Amino acid sequence: NAGVTQTPKFQVLKTGQSMTLQCAQDMNHEYMSWYRQDPGMGLRLIHYSVGAGITDQGEVPNGYNVSRSTTEDFPLRLLSAAPSQTSVYFCASSYSNTAYNSPLHFGNGTRLTVT
Amino acid sequence: AQSVTQLDSHVSVSEGTPVLLRCNYSSSYSPSLFWYVQHPNKGLQLLLKYTSAATLVKGINGFEAEFKKSETSFHLTKPSAHMSDAAEYFCVVRGLNTGFQKLVFGTGTRLLVSP
């Protein structure tokens, strides 16, 4: 049972480059989301999806795009990387967005450095 | 609006001694409250949750937390620390029956356990 799988684990980009962070879950979860974690700031929501074909912005969406063409996959695209996007990125999923007994399951993270 | 404050950025204990990680919250309506743990280079794992049932909540690995509405607190405790408890802990709040996009994370408390 793989759970939430993120790739790559580490990435270094130059300013202006683009890339896609991959996230896949094998639990048939309807809700998926992307967070960034920065020192002293906790986790901040970038984008989320409540089902295939449905996405919405979170707290810090600028500079990032997402799509949800299948239930399993929720890639995060950086269109033109900036040093301010240096962070650790986490994908998280849950079988329901609102059920109180539905926990978030997190991937192991992608550490991104933009030089 | 909701917010959460973790009162200590670092807590150091000796193995076998009690653990107390403090969390205060602010919520304009009935909250759901969670504690997550993050071990190095890993994603976050749910420790326990409060969702308006019993005010004393038991979680995994011997942790528990008590919801005190009068003090707007949800402190995490464990009677006896183990070396494997060394990790970062996040207190999280959201409105009861609202979506995960309403989650607010605290800035984290790093627990250090010495032999």
Give me the residue from A41, A104, A107 closest to B107, CB to CB: A41
- What are the percentages of helix, strand and coil residues in chain A, rounded to 5? 5, 50, 50
B28 interface with A at CB cutoff 8 Å: no
B3 in reach of chain A (CB within 8 A): no
Q: What residues contact B33, with CB distance under 8 A and at least 6 apart? A: B23, B25, B49, B50, B65, B67, B74, B91, B92, B93
For residue A41, the one-letter residue type is M
Tokens of A43: 């986790």
Asked whether B14 and B99 are in contact (CB, 8 A), the reply is no
pLDDT at A1: 65
pLDDT, tens only, A27-44 = 999 999 999 999 888 899
Tell me the pLDDT of chain B (115 aa) as tens digits: 788 999 999 999 999 999 999 999 988 777 889 999 999 888 899 999 988 778 899 999 999 999 999 999 999 999 999 999 999 999 999 877 778 888 899 999 999 999 9
Cα separation, A73 vs A23, in Å, equals 6
- Radius of gyration in angstroms for the set of CA atoms belonging to chain A, rounded to a whole number: 13
Question: For every one of its 115 residues, what pLDDT tens digit does chain A have, with 9 covering 90 and above?
Answer: 679 999 999 999 999 999 999 999 999 999 999 999 998 888 999 999 999 999 999 999 999 999 999 999 999 999 999 999 999 999 999 998 887 678 899 999 999 999 9
Q: Is the Cβ pair A94, B96 closer than 8 Å?
A: no
